[in-house]
Homo-oligomer: A and B are copies of this chain.
Amino acid sequence: MSARVPVTAIDIAEIDSFDHETDVLVLGYGCAGASAALEAVESGADVILLERQSGGGGSSALSGGEMYLGGGTPIQEACGFDDTAEEMEKFLLAALGPDADREKVGLYSRESVAHYQWLVDHGVPFKPSLWDSPTWVPPTDDGLMWMGENAYPFYEIAKPAPRGHRVTSDGFGGKILMAVLSEAVEKSAIAVHSDTTALRLITDNGRVVGVLARHFNETVTYRARRGVVITTGGFADNKEMLAQHAPQLVGLSVNSDGGDDGRGIVMAQAAGAAVKHMSAGQVGISLVPGMMVRGMIVNNVGQRFINEDVYPGLVGQAALFKHNLKVWVILDEQAYEEVPVDERWGVQPHFVAETLEELEREIGMPEGALQNTVGEYNRFAADGEDPYFHKSERWLRPLRSPFAAIDVQRGMSPPELGDNGTDGGGAAVFTIGGLHTTVDGHVLDLGGDAIPGLFAAGRATSGLHSWGYVSGTSLGDGTFFGRRAGIAASR
């Protein structure tokens, strides 16, 4: 946030004249902003889309490109999976809780097939083939993946079906998604104003009627006759806001385009908006899920703490929030060799040893720590059981010498950390909390009433989530609730 520019809303009386006027003004050209603008223009509204960067894309374009969709999409059906909105809803409430937004999750699940169709109609490509192993992003161009639906405890809560729909891509799919949406924007009557940063809201008797922005060194004012839609992203790039609201995320790498400074959130707060779940974060940790699932992940005294076949983002949250990222992947030679080469992302173990005694000494764990943990693991794995954390039998077998360890805190190279990723201590994060909105994108004030003229979607809002997170729910809720906000704002 440019701390020197006040964030407080300006009264319309202080504005002599507006430089631009439109029906709907959308702030931020990521997936939520593009979706909002498209629906608004398709509803017959005049639309201007502001973007601080020179072109569209935002953090969405740097993401893996997963979209959490289900309830029986054509992709799921083609891959042989039955699914219903009810099972999808049950999974999401469990995976994103506690206090996931029930109304948003319910609507999102019930309308997921229709949303899939909207995306396809706008040119977003999905491929009907399954990647069937835990991963951040498939190393192939497979279009369907598990997000931990088949792992404990989720398979007990909801009938499992893979719901990670990955935009078809050779590598990360976010850039494809944004290329497609941008093409639709370009073909439309939406006016895109790039290099333009929204700084303050303009209000008229409590109603949001416009925005004061900066275009290079120039101040520009926008009048929005029907509504302003904030889709400016989260606040992972704002160290001060992180320290105030999500201190455990400070000092790590960030998954963003560098513009997730929280300004949109604060600007709305200064106009009375409420926020939710500001301490929540997605945590991508530096490990290869295919290696972890064939071995184990342990903390700094050699204890396992989660079933390694769950969605890796949940492992990341546990590793950061419960073990301060002091975690190691322990595996044996057989496990390493079993991971297909294209799924290894070039990662090599940091320690190799003939015995666990030697390995724990090299890592600096208490003498006996790994011997005990691996001993217990092996004792049950021989029977295909894991009474401690319930990893699936598919991934269980006794680990045998020689052993190896990966020190997650040492970090690894991209692409796991995103194109923008750097080695920031073994994890790359973004924020999940934000503005409190209704299912129609209305921004609520501190008393729970909608602020007239103000809408929001994407990571500037607290979306489906409370503290939990699975991939695909950001591009998912960004596009889905971005569309709804665009429709509501154009009324």
A: residues with CB less than 8 A from B are 3, 6-8, 97-99, 243-245, 247-248, 250, 266, 269-270, 272, 274-279, 301, 303, 321-322, 366-369, 372, 376, 379-380, 387-389, 436, 445-448, 466-467
Per assembly, the copies of the chain total: 2
Closest residue of chain B to A251, judged by CB? Answer: B98
Q: Given the complex of chains A and B, what is the CA–CA distance between A387 and B302 in angstroms?
A: 12
Closest residue of chain B to A305, judged by CB? Answer: B303
For this complex, 21 residue pairs linking A to B, each with C-beta atoms less than 8 Å apart, are A7-B446, A8-B445, A98-B243, A98-B248, A99-B244, A243-B466, A244-B275, A244-B436, A245-B279, A247-B277, A269-B269, A269-B274, A269-B446, A270-B447, A278-B278, A278-B279, A301-B388, A366-B388, A367-B387, A368-B379, A372-B376
A99 to chain B: which residues have CB within 8 Å? Answer: 243-244, 247, 250
Given contacts A245-B276, A245-B278, A322-B322, contact A446 B250 (CB under 8 A): no
A6 to chain B: which residues have CB within 8 Å? Answer: 447
Closest residue of chain B to A269, judged by CB? Answer: B446
A269 to chain B: which residues have CB within 8 Å? Answer: 269, 274, 446
Find out whether the CB atom of B3 lies under 8 angstroms from the CB atom of A448.
Answer: yes
Closest residue of chain B to A98, judged by CB? Answer: B247
Find out whether the CB atom of B7 lies under 8 angstroms from the CB atom of A277.
Answer: no
20 extra A-B contacts, CB within 8 A, seeds A245-B279, A322-B322: A7-B446, A7-B447, A8-B445, A8-B446, A98-B248, A245-B277, A245-B278, A247-B277, A269-B269, A269-B274, A270-B272, A270-B445, A278-B278, A278-B279, A279-B279, A301-B388, A321-B322, A366-B387, A368-B379, A372-B372
Q: Given the complex of chains A and B, what is the CA–CA distance between A276 and B243 in angstroms?
A: 8
A3 to chain B: which residues have CB within 8 Å? Answer: 447-448
Taking the closest CB of chain B, its distance from the CB of A5, in whole angstroms, is 8
Taking the closest CB of chain B, its distance from the CB of A176, in whole angstroms, is 35
A245 to chain B: which residues have CB within 8 Å? Answer: 276-279
Find out whether the CB atom of A376 lies under 8 angstroms from the CB atom of B368.
Answer: yes
A277 to chain B: which residues have CB within 8 Å? Answer: 244-245, 247
Q: Given the complex of chains A and B, what is the CA–CA distance between A6 and B447 in angstroms?
A: 6
Taking the closest CB of chain B, its distance from the CB of A284, in whole angstroms, is 20
A446 to chain B: which residues have CB within 8 Å? Answer: 7-8, 266, 269-270
Q: Given the complex of chains A and B, what is the CA–CA distance between A79 and B7 in angstroms?
A: 52
Given contacts A270-B272, A368-B376, A376-B368, contact A247 B466 (CB under 8 A): yes
Q: Given the complex of chains A and B, what is the CA–CA distance between A448 and B8 in angstroms?
A: 11
Taking the closest CB of chain B, its distance from the CB of A417, in whole angstroms, is 22
Kindly name the residue among A98, A244, A445, A466 whose own CB sees the greatest number of chain B CB atoms within 10 A.
A244
Given contacts A243-B99, A269-B446, contact A301 B389 (CB under 8 A): yes
Q: Given the complex of chains A and B, what is the CA–CA distance between A466 and B244 in angstroms?
A: 8
A303 to chain B: which residues have CB within 8 Å? Answer: 303
Q: Given the complex of chains A and B, what is the CA–CA distance between A274 and B269 in angstroms?
A: 9
Q: Given the complex of chains A and B, what is the CA–CA distance between A170 and B97 in angstroms?
A: 43
A247 to chain B: which residues have CB within 8 Å? Answer: 97-99, 277, 466-467
Taking the closest CB of chain B, its distance from the CB of A214, in whole angstroms, is 16
A380 to chain B: which residues have CB within 8 Å? Answer: 366
Closest residue of chain B to A324, judged by CB? Answer: B98
A447 to chain B: which residues have CB within 8 Å? Answer: 3, 6-8, 270
Find out whether the CB atom of B369 lies under 8 angstroms from the CB atom of A388.
Answer: yes
A467 to chain B: which residues have CB within 8 Å? Answer: 247-248
Closest residue of chain B to A387, judged by CB? Answer: B366
Find out whether the CB atom of A276 lies under 8 angstroms from the CB atom of B98.
Answer: no
Kindly name the residue among A245, A266, A436 whose own CB sees the greatest number of chain B CB atoms within 10 A.
A245
Taking the closest CB of chain B, its distance from the CB of A321, in whole angstroms, is 7
Among the listed B243, B272, B321, B387, which residue makes an inter-chain contact with A8, where contact means beta carbons less than 8 Å apart?
A: B272
A372 to chain B: which residues have CB within 8 Å? Answer: 372, 376
Q: Given the complex of chains A and B, what is the CA–CA distance between A387 and B300 in angstroms?
A: 11
Taking the closest CB of chain B, its distance from the CB of A448, in whole angstroms, is 6
Taking the closest CB of chain B, its distance from the CB of A446, in whole angstroms, is 5
Q: Given the complex of chains A and B, what is the CA–CA distance between A369 and B436 in angstroms?
A: 43
Q: Given the complex of chains A and B, what is the CA–CA distance between A118 and B430 in angstroms?
A: 46
Taking the closest CB of chain B, its distance from the CB of A300, in whole angstroms, is 10
Q: Given the complex of chains A and B, what is the CA–CA distance between A107 and B71 in angstroms?
A: 57
Closest residue of chain B to A368, judged by CB? Answer: B376
Taking the closest CB of chain B, its distance from the CB of A377, in whole angstroms, is 11
Taking the closest CB of chain B, its distance from the CB of A394, in whole angstroms, is 20
**Nearest 6 pairs between A and B by C-beta?**
A279-B279, A366-B387, A99-B247, A322-B322, A244-B276, A99-B243
